[in-house]
Amino acid sequence: MTNRPRSRGEPALTERLLIADVVNKRMQELHLTNPELGRLTGLNAALISNLRNARNNATLDTLARVAHALEIRVADLFLRRTD
């Protein structure tokens, strides 16, 4: 295995966009705002906003908190929905 640098973050961006899509849809289903999800997770609303707009690389801890608050599995954050 070589230590090639990623091509300008493209794979990470794709995953961030997928996570953002899942979080946005689930928040709409639960009628949650950024501050409300922030309270449920212990994260600030700005971090929630960045996650929803695919602007940050979230840690596993952050993803676990968000998934728990959204009543889904962490793995669900990476699954493309077809509905």
Q: 20-72: per-residue pLDDT in tens?
A: 999 999 999 999 999 999 999 999 999 999 999 999 899 999 999 999 999 99
> What's the rounded Cα separation, in Å, for the pair 79 and 34?
22
| Cut 0.85: pTM above it | no
Residues 6/12, Cβ–Cβ less than 8 Å = yes
3-state secondary structure of 80: coil
